[in-house]
Structure 1
Amino acid sequence: MSASTGTSASASTAYDAKFRVWRGDAEGGELKDFAVEVNDGEVVLDIIHRLQATQAADLAVRWNCKAGKCGSCSAEINGRPRLMCMTRMSVFSREETITVTPLRAFPVIRDLVTDVSFNYAKAREVPSFVPPPGVAAGEYRMQQVDVDRSQEFRKCIECFLCQDTCHVVRDHEENKTAFAGPRFLMRVAELDMHPLDAAGESGLDRKKTAQDEHGLGYCNITKCCTEVCPEHIKITDNALIPLKERAVDRKYDPLVWLGNKIRRRGE
């Protein structure tokens, strides 16, 4: 009797949700409506998998860990960039139509899968850490506060939600050549504040390249990148704004300007 009651109670939590999913490829496509069963505790990715299993076997979707750590299942859910595996169905009402579309800032390959190679190209443009001269690997020493500061940025799972939501690339395709986007400006900021990075000694000015080569000036600190970060990295406050401040100090500080002028005269 008790077993039967438990089964009935469990079944009562299931319902059919209204989903609107984008289907198509690089040539074009459209939103298609589906009614898909939802059970207690499920996330959007569960429903997309059920949709594949029951109604749309050819639906293309990228995913891997289903634990919010690989960044693969990025999509736009009701217009907001999110990880499908971390978006619980309980945040939506049962009457709501849930729209799932591919990341808008990147070219569509098929259905919910986009070509994010832009991001890997930008990653290769950021010069890597420059080891300090005369210090062997394993002998690096730095203050714990500097370790903690960099560690926040190392939490990035490269879901590229921040890249997708940034209006500089989202709304202006022509900016992609000159703008690295928040994820990679954050990488520049991390290296620039690293106490052991010897880029300056090798002739690399990370603040200058941030402005001249990675498009730091395009960022107008709307904090939209921070708002969508699933790792809760304070991209704007802890990386982009400090990098802008250091770049401005370097470029416009009158003492720095005077020192550069004197140095050039002596050459």
Structure 2
Amino acid sequence: MPYKAKFKVWRGDAESGELRDFLVEVNEGEVVLDIIHRLQATQAPDLAVRWNCKAGKCGSCSAEINGRPRLLCMTRMSTFTEEETVTVTPMRTFPVIRDLVTDVSFNYQKAREIPSFTPPADLAPGDYRMQQVDVQRSQEFRKCIECFLCQNTCHVVRDHEENKEAFSGPRFLMRAAELEFHPLDTADRVPSAQEDHGLGLCNITKCCTEVCPEHIAITDNALIPMKERVADRKYDPVVWLGSKIFRRSKT
């Protein structure tokens, strides 16, 4: 049965803003994005919200719902009681443009800083050969829809704006790991991850993994293995010697 839900939605811009109260109809099977669209249609036509697919695959409608980073299109209203007030705010880590829309250009800047896939120079595309286990390992990371919820919830940048220059965040450390673990990538990603992208600043609280809508084990399968490789390089004499003798080709 339809009911009236109490909503608090952040309205404002880069200069100032506040939470506004709304009472809006909710129907069976709806998600929070449906309610935001109904608000636009009936009470707040100038409400700004970013969205695209409404299927949890584009990553556009990232926001915070009751303080938790989530996708608006994948958060069902049935997860809240009829008496509960649902608070919708923009992602806190990134600058607000207007209402629920934030400036996520920080993430695209960091993406450009990750060197691209570098196969052996003499290897033709049709000659690529990989074990299935390597394919599966890479495919997990490629499920990322770049919603940037992991970036938003990571307290290294969420609570410390000054870290943004030195820390690329879990999404792009995961990208570095994806390439590092690729058997045909010749670039050595470990020093760059540590020195250029701030891997050492991550203290593996797993908050990035907890909010990932694709359920990627970012911490366990990407960040921790990369940290282990850094530690091996620095403190394991056998690994250190092997890295000097069998250094990956840079060509």
Please indicate, yes or no, whether the TM-score normalized by the shorter chain is above 0.5.
Answer: yes
SS of residue paired to 1:45: helix
Partners of 2:220 and 2:245 lie apart in 1 by 35
Greater mean alpha carbon deviation, residues 64-73 or residues 129-138: 129-138
Is 1:243 the equivalent of 2:226?
Answer: yes
Is 1:20 the equivalent of 2:3?
Answer: no
SS of residue paired to 1:158: coil
What are the equivalent positions in structure 2 for 1:70-81 lying under 5 Å apart?
Answer: 70-81=58-69
Partners of 1:65 and 1:262 lie apart in 2 by 49
Answer whether contact 2:33 2:73 (CA < 8 A) is retained.
yes
Q: Which runs of 5+ in 2 are unaligned?
A: 247-251
What are the equivalent positions in structure 2 for 1:37-52 lying under 5 Å apart?
Answer: 37-52=25-40
* From 141, 147, 150, the counterpart of 1:159: 147
SS of residue paired to 1:65: coil
Partners of 1:242 and 1:260 lie apart in 2 by 17
Report the AA paired with residue 206 of structure 2: K
SS of residue paired to 1:138: helix
Q: Which residue of 2 aligns with 1:215?
A: 198
Partners of 2:244 and 2:41 lie apart in 1 by 68
Q: Shift in Å at residue 73 of structure 1? A: 0.2
SS of residue paired to 1:188: helix
Q: Shift in Å at residue 133 of structure 1? A: 2.5
Partners of 2:153 and 2:185 lie apart in 1 by 30
What are the equivalent positions in structure 2 for 1:44-193 lying under 5 Å apart?
Answer: 44-193=32-181
Computed over aligned residues only, the root mean square deviation of the Cα atoms, in angstroms, reads 1.4
Report the AA paired with residue 245 of structure 1: E
Answer whether contact 2:8 2:21 (CA < 8 A) is retained.
yes
Partners of 2:244 and 2:209 lie apart in 1 by 39
How many residue pairs align between the two structures?
A: 246
Q: Deviations over 1:141-176 (max 9, x none)?
A: 010000000000000000000000000010000000
Q: Which residue of 1 aligns with 2:214?
A: 231
* From 3, 12, 22, the counterpart of 1:34: 22
Calculate the TM-score normalised by the size of structure 1: 0.90
Q: Shift in Å at residue 94 of structure 1? A: 0.3
Q: Deviations over 1:35-87 (max 9, x none)?
A: 00000000000000000000000000000000000000000000000000000
Q: Shift in Å at residue 258 of structure 1? A: 5.4
Answer whether contact 1:103 1:164 (CA < 8 A) is retained.
yes
Calculate the TM-score normalised by the size of structure 2: 0.95
Report the AA paired with residue 32 of structure 1: R
Answer whether contact 2:232 2:240 (CA < 8 A) is retained.
no
Report the AA paired with residue 171 of structure 1: D
Q: Shift in Å at residue 119 of structure 1? A: 0.1
**Taking every aligned residue pair, what percent have the same amino acid on both sides?**
82
SS of residue paired to 1:72: coil
Q: Deviations over 1:105-149 (max 9, x none)?
A: 000000000000000000000001001131101210010000000
Partners of 2:243 and 2:24 lie apart in 1 by 66
Q: Which residue of 2 aligns with 1:7?
A: none
